[in-house]
A = this chain, B = another copy of it.
């Protein structure tokens, strides 16, 4: 008998289980492009250019009713002019239902092996996916490579492996023997994890791969089928992934329609029709709070949402203020604040301790402004860090932020990108506000918008950050303190509203980053989302334990 795909990938699988249980560092897919084949970039560039103004074929998924595509590159501001196959929802569901019949009968280990094999196929497209991500989301090329390539694949692997682990944690079969005095009752028991049905994964425009792969692979490893509904403005990156998975399934004699793409257009969105379908039992969603709340409210569906949040920074005391502000300026600017993990509100008391002396609020803010200016105007990295603004709504929000109130310290202006002269790239806005002016900072201002809020002391900073997280949700909180007691206080208070705290980051690591196998991304406990990548709940809610018994 040929080696199974599970055996083939046993090394990766075992290593991933270990990392998940230890929460230790692991990366199955290196994040440095240079580690991959030398000619990958060139080939991918040709493949990407060759795909423009053409139909994106998904032949394994059948004949579409029409073709459509609306993507526009935030770098060139020109349409990609790629047409995607559009299917009737009922047709997609029917194919998924058919695939479910056979897919549900496969074993968790069989699925895990095939899904890791699919990731390996996707890996072969990392460079092409990177270009596709760059020209749909506006991420820089390097960020596109990392976020939609190795980082997304690692998070997908994490979901696969935790799903496999949870489904195999109880014995398939056990002899249960109950002593009854002179004799015993013997029952043979079997325990089967049963999949729920069809899962729909609704993607967003800024992280079309990273935010979609975990739910997609969590559905698949637990025996459910999956339909990916991308944002109509960011289809290409995930379409390449879906095609690679379908190809892998076909090559290994599984139904390629176990995973399908349900592309649509802005005017004819199929999300509601899909998620309301009675055969759809699972919904993964990344996007606005309003639509996310609607998704969560649909009766009889298991939902996993990531919505908006308001992320805070609490500055109490630091060793090296400029190192801190440099790190934070980078966090705000990275991909123009279009990360759900980007900090927005900086709570800074009248005076902070920096090293062995006090620094007043005004000076902290002024040095923060300098760091932002320095980064943006750095010809080597400024434009690259900022990337491009994905859409006009975000651009308008940045403009509007200037009239939110408070004191405008930095207004936004166009930033020149040497490679793409039409790039939609702008510098961050920095606003100063008083603690009482909460109308300025109480909502998520998606984009490169930072608000420095003057507080009485760190206790007030914590109180405000906690209230915001409790009411509006939060995905990250960065805090700076050299005082162990204050560290304890901050983590305790913020953890109570289910917000993780990251302390004293400086150097080349930012609060925006959550590492696969170790960090839970979103806790699921506050209104920023009801799910967490990848805690046990993220996988076990996708299947049901059913036990059968048999008298011996």
Contacts and interface: CB of A to CB of B under 8 A. Distances in A.
B518 A545 contact: no
B505 A551 contact: yes
A285 B550 CA distance: 30
Contact of A174 (B24, B491, B498): B24
A100 to B, nearest CB: 10
Contacts of A174: 22-24, 518
Nearest to A490: B548
Contacts of A2: none
A171 interface: yes
Nearest to A504: B551
Given A535-B545, A546-B523, A194 B498 contact: yes
B537 A500 contact: no
A506 interface: yes
A541 interface: yes
Interface in A334-352: none
A299 interface: yes
A169 interface: yes
A547 B513 CA distance: 13
27 contacts: A21-B170, A23-B170, A23-B191, A23-B547, A24-B174, A169-B536, A180-B508, A185-B509, A189-B518, A190-B491, A296-B299, A487-B550, A500-B546, A501-B548, A503-B548, A503-B549, A504-B551, A509-B551, A519-B547, A520-B547, A523-B544, A523-B545, A524-B544, A532-B544, A535-B545, A536-B540, A537-B540
Interface in A277-316: 296-297, 299
A176 interface: yes
A411 interface: no
Contacts of A179: 25
Interface in A84-140: 104
Interface in A245-276: none
Interface string A520-534: 100111000000100
Copies, count: 2
A501 B188 CA distance: 12
A357 interface: no
Contacts of A24: 174, 176
B25 A176 contact: yes
A504 B548 contact: no
B519 A544 contact: no
Contacts of A170: 21, 23
A546 B525 contact: yes
Contacts of A424: none
A502 B548 contact: yes
Interface in A144-199: 166, 169-171, 174, 176-180, 185, 187, 189-192, 194, 196
Interface string A198-231: 0000000000000000000000000000000000
Interface of A: 21-25, 104, 166, 169-171, 174, 176-180, 185, 187, 189-192, 194, 196, 296-297, 299, 487, 491, 495-496, 498-509, 515, 518-520, 523-525, 532, 535-537, 540-541, 544-551
A1 to B, nearest CB: 23
Contact of A549 (B25, B194, B519, B536): B519
Given A23-B176, A540-B540, A550-B504, A194 B299 contact: no
A402 to B, nearest CB: 33
Nearest to A552: B504
B23 A169 contact: no
Given A23-B174, A297-B299, A545 B532 contact: yes
Given A176-B25, A176-B515, A525-B194, A502 B549 contact: yes
B523 A187 contact: no
A532 B540 CA distance: 12
A290 to B, nearest CB: 14
A495 B546 CA distance: 7
A423 to B, nearest CB: 29
Nearest to A518: B176
Contacts of A504: 550-551
Given A171-B22, A176-B518, A502 B550 contact: yes
Contacts of A550: 487, 502-504
Contacts of A547: 23, 500, 518-520
A551 to B, nearest CB: 5
Nearest to A509: B185
B187 A509 contact: yes
A102 to B, nearest CB: 13
